[in-house]
Structure formats: C-alpha cells, structure tokens
Structure 1
Amino acid sequence: MVLTDPQAGNLVAIALGSNLGDSRTILMAAIDQLSQDPKIKLQATSHWYQTAAVGPPQPDYLNGCVSVLTTYSPKVLLEKLLAIEVQFGRVRQERWGPRTLDLDVLLFGQSVIQTPTLTVPHPYLHERAFVLAPLAEICPGWIHPVLKQTIAELTKAVDYTGVHRLAN
C-alpha cells in the first residue's frame, strides 16, 4: 500500500458520521464536496454502518470512512474538513454530542502528528468498532504508525455490539 506519492500526495483516511437530519444524504453530500476539491482525490468509500452513540443519550449514528489522496498539509486538510462540517450545520455544543456531520482525520500516510488542534493517528481509532469496521473495508492492510498493527489486526480487539453494516 503506497501511502505517499510525490505527485499525488498523501493517502489519508477520514471518518464520517452523522446522527441529526437526513444523515445518509448529508454524508453523501460531504463526500461529494470532498471529491470536488482539485487537491483531493477520492480513492475508496466504505459501506455505511448504523451505530449506537458514544456519549450522552442521542440517536444512533450513521458512520463510514473514505480514503483520499491529497496534496494538502494535515493542517489545511483539517481546516477544509471543519469548513465542510459548518456548511452542513455542525454546531459544537458538547463533547460527543449529536451532530449533523463529523469529519475526522484518522490516518495521514504514516505520519504521527500532535498539535493542539490535530492528533494523528486519531487517538481513539483503535478502540472504536464504528471506525474500524468501515476503515477495515477500504484499507485493511494500512499499518497503524504507532501501534504497528494493520487495521485488520486492530479489528480483532474491539466489540462490535451495536454496529450494523447497512446495504448501500
């Protein structure tokens, strides 16, 4: 798996989630928005998963993942993702609260990034079935740069209760 190409950029895994509004429409529109950016090339899209919410009581989520090639830096990509969230009505009121759209950078090539606004690999990636299930569909062989295990290997250590793959 080639994670960095000087011409095409870095391979990046992004998680998508929504539990407010018409989640499937919102998530598909967010992917469309990403794919229209000339510096982002969509590589793969997972199935959607209905998942029980983590955090305060709220509706179930619809979750999925995409992989993209991008020439953006991690910081600029994060800014682009946050702007897309806002376009779709994202309001940050409480940690792990309900949202119209959540876009998270999970992996950025083999980079390990720790800034006040971005941590890559995502700090909870290896603990969350709702992230690992769709991620394993599109990039099972990607090696977690800190844990040194493939995504497929990481899936074996999580509980999939409350995570249901939907037909696309």
Structure 2
Amino acid sequence: MHLAYLLIGSNLGDKTTYLKNAGSYIQQQCGQIVKQSSFYETEPWGFTEQPSFLNQALCIQTELAPAQLMHTLLQIESKMGRTRELKMGPRIIDLDILQIDQQIVDTPLLQLPHPAMHLRRFALIPMEEIAPQLMHPQFNKTITQLLAECTDQTDVQKKIV
C-alpha cells in the first residue's frame, strides 16, 4: 500500500463540481482518499492569460504502482473531457501526482516527486494543509520548509465552497 499525494485543479466551467467529481473517480478507481485540503483559488502559473484555478491536494492510499496510478489519472482526465491543446493552458481538469511515499521516479511518463512542486505556492499551500511534515525525498525538507523558501508570488486564497 502506498500513500500518494495528488494535486487536482480546474479553471474552466463549474470548477467546484469538476474537482468533486474527480475526487469521486479517484476514490473509485485509484484508492481511498485519507486526507483532502480545502479548495484554493489560485492565479494561473506559467501561462497567465487564462482564468484562475481551483486547486485541492489529496492524499490517497493506493495499491497501484506509480505508472499505473498515472495511467488511471490520465484516463479519468480523458473521461471528464480534458483535451491537451496548449501546454499549461486552460483545462476542465488536471490531475497531478506530487509524491508517492519517498519514491524517486524519472521516466518519460512520470517524474516523482513532481519536479516543480517546490516552485509553486498553489501546490505547496494545499499540501501544507494536509501534510506539513511530509519530507521531500530529494531535498530532505518538509513541505512547510519548502513553502517558507518558495519564491513564487502568485496569489493563493482558501475558498469556501
């Protein structure tokens, strides 16, 4: 059994419903959700000429190997109508694996921990809510430490839904 930390997000349509539906699919197909953060309204990162995102961090217990989990998440994205037209562009749903246990993976399909997690407040803030003491397996720092050192200035606000 693995503990996998996911970041889910949406910036098109009914974002709240998309995140709730994604959580249901993840619970059905990937494993039990054991912790979930609040929803966070976040400025776009990278490609900024698009609507704001709604993000949430999830911790799931899963029996799926990392590659299996990634394939399943991609299938859920596709089932929910995700299309990939513009890198970092607007999307109905985005399901990312941030970390699985203390595993380090570097394949064309998947990099763990997520290579940009430590650079993005929209990932670190919801992660700190559910796993502040989780250690990053490469930097040997907690999520709280990574957030304190993060230079990203994008606005991330807890949203009541």
User: What residue is the counterpart of 1:59 in the other structure?
Assistant: 51
In 1, Cα distance between the equivalents of 2:33 and 2:19? 14
Find the counterpart in structure 1 of residue 156 from structure 2.
163
Give the distance between the partners of 1:65 and 1:22, measured in 2 at CA: 18
Aligned to 1:47: 38
Tell me, yes or no, if the aligned pair for 1:56 and 1:96 is still in contact at 8 Å.
no
Unpaired segments ≥5 residues, structure 1: 1-8
Matches within 5 A, 1:63-82: 63-82=55-74
Off by >2 Å, runs of 4+ in structure 1 = 158-161
Q: CA RMSD in A?
A: 1.1
Match of residue 141 from structure 2 = 149
Residues in 2 aligned to 1:137 and 1:16: alpha-carbon distance in whole angstroms: 15
What letter is aligned with 1:48?
Answer: F
- Identity rate, percent: 36
**TM-score normalised per structure 2:** 0.95
TM-score (norm 1): 0.91
Secondary structure at the aligned position of 2:19 is classed as helix
Q: Is the 8 A contact 1:40 1:71 kept in 2?
A: yes
Structure 1: which amino acid aligns with 2:147? T
5+ long unaligned stretches in structure 2 = none
What is the correspondence of 1:129-144 to structure 2 with a 5 Å cutoff?
129-144=121-136
Letter aligned with residue 163 of structure 1: V
Aligned residue pairs, count:
159
Check whether the contact 1:52–1:61 (CA below 8 A) recurs between aligned residues: yes
2:119 corresponding residue in structure 1: 127
